[in-house]
Amino acid sequence: MPTRRKVLAWGAAAAAAPALAGCGEKVGAARTTTATRRRPGQKVTLTFWTWVPLQKAVALWNKQNPDVRVDVQTVPANTSGGYQKMHSSLTAGDPPDLAQVEYYALPEFMLVNGLTNLSEYGADELKGAYVDWQWQQGVFAGKTYAIPQASGPMGLFYRQDLFDKWDVEVPATWDEYRAAAVKIKKRGSLITAFPPANAQWFAALPWQRGARWVTTEGDTWVVDLTSPESLEVADFWDGMISDGLVSPIQDSQSAFFKGLQTGGLATWPGAQWYDALIRGNAPRTEGRWRVAELPQWERGAHASSNWGGSATAILQGSRHPVEALEFAHWLNTDPAAIDLLIAAGYGWPAARIELAGSALGKPDPFFGGQRYNEVFQLSDRNVDTSWRFAPTTTQSYAHVQDAFGRVLAGHGTLADALKDAEGKFVDDLKAKGLEARSAR
Amino acid sequence: MSTSVKPSGTAAARGRRRGRPDRKAWAFLGPFLALYLFAMVVPVFYAIYQSMLKVERSGPMGLGEPSVGFAGFENYSLALQQETFVDGFGRVLLFGLVQVPVMLLLALVLALLLDQVSHRWAGLLRATYFLPYGIPGVIATILWGFLYVPGVSPVTDVLGDLGFQPDFLGYDNVLWSIANIVVWQFAGYNMLIIVAQLKSVPQELYEAARVDGAGPWQTALHIKIPLVRPALVLTTVFSIIGTMQLFAEPLVLKKVAPAVTTDYTPNLSAYFDAFANANLYLAAAKSVILAVVAMALSFGFLSLVTRKQRSER
């Protein structure tokens, strides 16, 4: 046993240590990106952390570029482990060269100085090859920090066979959607799921209505989860939940996929990249699915929104930023690479492409021969691109999810949950040392 | 993780341990001490140090060059002001109050029963009860998750057919679904510790009891249970610490159970702050708070038990 005196000495040492604070402690990334000089012919290996199955495209690159080998390492998707790993590696000063980072998470990585300023390496010249709003997701204070890969314009996936059988019209408005839900429920099925722990999905709904959860005003972040638009959407789903018209299960989980397989869930308002998930998890429903525009709040409108989307980032600390940038640009714009990524179900390309000429423009037997991506193209064009993400999105959206979880358990309403989460959202921003306030 | 608890040594053992440890002893202790220092002591003090730091931001949108400054106890007060973090403690305490006694009672009953059965079966049964402990917590939770998720689980299907609507992952139930996993996993392990203690009971005591006319019930109640008391104390302390550190089970169930929030347990809260929110300093403060509470509870329990022991003498 240590003597009492020793313990006291340790305590004193521990108490004195913070006085030396600052020495050795660095915020965020421990290592800064620098380009190491390469002798001609010298081989370079780039490490790439991602959860998107893009091995085939990378294999093509490796075949064409034997000198710059890209080594893909699969990490858990986003907050289920991938970002945790990236943040740790940044803090430890041993990050991969390239990483998959979703648009909403880019500001968080900026806040820990986790992204390489690509403008220094000529990225600004590449801008023209990409859809502008997707490119802007990686631009902070006029500098480019990420190369966009794909987005997720929203649409309504629905089961044509069940709609025919039950005499349900494809809903054009949310009112019709509710009416369809009532009809479908009478047939012993449900129109869709309301995933309680997916704030990214939910956010797409007020986004479509015209809400802006986050805006900036000078140096202040303004949080507005409770605008009339947001509350209207919340009320709509509150009604769907309390009337038992939706299933309170989490999306992309076994029970959800079972619903898609059996027809227990007849529609799904989802992003374009959900096509691959439905195809992969309910293969026997081939030919029965179709895609329509999201139901509208005003008849005849074409309001749309986006769910998901990610960029290829070059993390702070890379030793080969030039090669990494070259690869990132190739991966996201080369037609052969895009076709391989589309086959892997990576989402809606960030590169400007001709739909007709790409794999996305073909009639698809899974969707009964529908050129379903034409719907998403329209949706993509109508996405309101003024939506912003705060640098605490992961944490703050988690508050929304936590509060929604309580609602689905029968405690309160979604509208209350949003009010509750708004205060916590502001606190998150303040806790990071940022200026923030609530909009109302 | 592990807190060593010294089972009270016998007087004879204490007597032998006279004199200072010589050089050879240090050579044997060396590897352990080096690892202990490197893997336990240093990280603990580093965490305390980090818990007193904070990031200071400046510039437009706070995206200017940040620096690290001394925060004093700011992180601690921030953590304690977070209602959800404090609620997490309440949740694990409630969990512990129910789960630990249930598990240990089960372990004790299994141990006593094992002590009764013939040798031929004892080995096999012991291995069977112990088996769940060999399955990593994450895997166990995934397996149980499949049994909990409605639409996938055969259990909910069967209960549904019988007219029940169990919601294992619901807001009010998920804590007990987690408790069930932990009991399943650790009852056998705790049973083994109790069995080991039972084995060390001298046979003469049983013979004496039998001569005095005690049946199996009375032997169990008056001889076995009092004699395995040290094992029960040990397993209780381990269980209290394990309960406070509840982490893997809720983290894995979180995927299918929205009722499991990011602050569901104190450990989960610290984890999300450190790795998802990139706020290591706040996470360090939360970890220190958690360690202090776990220590207070363990030592509190120990002193409670030993005081009782002392007063009995």
Note the pLDDT of residue B2. 44
Q: Which of B6, B33, B40, B63 to mutate to test the interface with A (most CBs of A within 10 A)?
A: B63
In chain B, where the domains are located: 83-312
CA separation for the pair B259, A217 (Å, rounded): 35
Q: Exposed, middle or buried, A241 (CB in 10 Å: 0-12/13-18/19+)? A: buried
Whether residue A15 has pLDDT greater than 60: no
Question: How many Å lie between the alpha carbon of A53 and the closest alpha carbon of chain B?
Answer: 21
Contact (CB<8Å) B279/A411: no
Q: 3-state class of A196 per DSSP? A: coil
CA separation for the pair A153, A360 (Å, rounded): 14
CA separation for the pair B76, B282 (Å, rounded): 7
Evaluate whether A327 touches A46 at the Cβ level (below 8 Å): yes
Q: What does each C-alpha distance from B160 to A62, A185, A256, B42, B154 come to in angstroms?
A: 54, 19, 18, 53, 10
Report phi then psi at B304, rounded to 5.
Answer: -60, -45
Which of B170, B255, B272 is the closest to A253 by Cβ? B255
Note the pLDDT of residue B221. 86
Find the closest chain B residue to A110 by CA distance: B63
Note the pLDDT of residue A13. 44
Query: HEC states along A175-217?
Result: HHHHHHHHHHHHCCCECEECCCCCHHHHHHHHHHHCCCCEEEE
Note the pLDDT of residue A24. 54
Contact (CB<8Å) B278/A258: no
Question: How many Å lie between the alpha carbon of B109 and the closest alpha carbon of chain A?
Answer: 36
Note the pLDDT of residue B61. 61
Note the pLDDT of residue A22. 44
Evaluate whether A158 touches A191 at the Cβ level (below 8 Å): no
Which of B68, B84, B172 is the closest to A27 by Cβ? B68
Over residues A143-166, mean pLDDT = 96
3-state helix, strand, coil in chain A (%, to 5): 45, 20, 35
Whether residue A308 has pLDDT greater than 50: yes
pLDDT class of A17 with cuts at 50, 70, 90: very low
Pairwise pLDDT comparison (A93 vs A1), residue with the higher score: A93
Query: HEC states along A258-306?
Result: HHHHHCCECEEEEECCHHHHHHHHCHHHCCCEEEECCCECCCCCCCECE
- Count Cβ neighbours within 10 Å for each residue of B118-138 and write b for 16 or more, e otherwise: eeeeeeeebeebeebbeeebe
Q: How many residues can be counted in chain A?
A: 440
Evaluate whether A206 touches A230 at the Cβ level (below 8 Å): yes
pLDDT class of A25 with cuts at 50, 70, 90: low
Note the pLDDT of residue B117. 80
Q: Give percent of chain B above pLDDT 70.
A: 89
Evaluate whether B223 touches B209 at the Cβ level (below 8 Å): yes
A12-26, A58-72, A172-186, B172-186: segment of lowest average pLDDT = A12-26
Strand positions, DSSP E, chain B: 53-56, 67-70
Domains parsed from chain A with CATH numbers: 44-151+308-365 (3.40.190.10), 153-305+384-438 (3.40.190.10)
Find the closest chain A residue to B271 by CA distance: A84
Tell which phi-psi region holds residue A113, choosing left (phi > 0), alpha (psi between -120 and 50) or beta: left
Statement: B83-312 belongs to CATH 1.10.3720.10: yes
Q: Give percent of chain B above pLDDT 90.
A: 46
Note the pLDDT of residue A12. 44
Note the pLDDT of residue B153. 84
Pairwise pLDDT comparison (B88 vs B151), residue with the higher score: B88
Over residues B148-152, mean pLDDT = 82
Over residues A208-235, mean pLDDT = 94
Q: How many interface pairs between A and B have CB atoms less than 8 angstroms apart?
A: 140
pLDDT class of A227 with cuts at 50, 70, 90: very high
Rounded to two decimals, the pTM is 0.79
Do β-strands A192-193 and A246-247 pair in parallel, antiparallel, or remain unpaired?
parallel
Contact (CB<8Å) A434/B52: no
Q: What does each C-alpha distance from A292 to A191, A210, A270, A370, A373 come to in angstroms?
A: 15, 20, 11, 10, 10
Question: How many Å lie between the alpha carbon of A69 and the closest alpha carbon of chain B?
Answer: 29
CA separation for the pair A164, A9 (Å, rounded): 79
**Mean residue pLDDT across chain A:** 90
Over residues A359-385, mean pLDDT = 92
Contact (CB<8Å) B276/A433: no
Question: How many Å lie between the alpha carbon of B167 and the closest alpha carbon of chain A?
Answer: 10
Contact (CB<8Å) A79/B277: no
Note the pLDDT of residue A79. 82
At A44, list the tokens: 């370079």
Task: Kindly list the residues from chain B whose CB atom is less than 8 angstroms away from the CB atom of residue A82.
Answer: none
Note the pLDDT of residue B60. 60
Evaluate whether A305 touches A384 at the Cβ level (below 8 Å): yes
Which ipTM was obtained for this model?
0.71
Note the pLDDT of residue A11. 45
Helices (H) and strands (E) in chain A, counts: 16, 15
pLDDT class of A151 with cuts at 50, 70, 90: very high
Whether residue B42 has pLDDT greater than 90: yes
Type of residue at A228: P
Type of residue at A365: P
Task: Kindly list the residues from chain A whose CB atom is less than 8 angstroms away from the CB atom of residue B277.
Answer: 392, 394-395, 428
Note the pLDDT of residue B123. 84
Find the closest chain B residue to A82 by CA distance: B276
Q: Exposed, middle or buried, A370 (CB in 10 Å: 0-12/13-18/19+)? A: middle
Note the pLDDT of residue B62. 60
CA separation for the pair A394, A389 (Å, rounded): 10
Per-residue pLDDT of A321-349, as tens digits, reads: 999 999 999 999 999 999 999 888 888 99
Question: How many Å lie between the alpha carbon of B140 and the closest alpha carbon of chain A?
Answer: 17
Which DSSP category does A173 fall into?
A: B
Over residues A214-223, mean pLDDT = 90
- Return all residues near A280 (Cβ < 8 A) that are at least 6 apart: A345
Which of B68, B172, B278 is the closest to A25 by Cβ? B68
Question: How many Å lie between the alpha carbon of A16 and the closest alpha carbon of chain B?
Answer: 9
Find the closest chain B residue to A428 by CA distance: B277
pLDDT class of B19 with cuts at 50, 70, 90: low
A130-134, A411-415, B215-219, B282-286: segment of lowest average pLDDT = B215-219
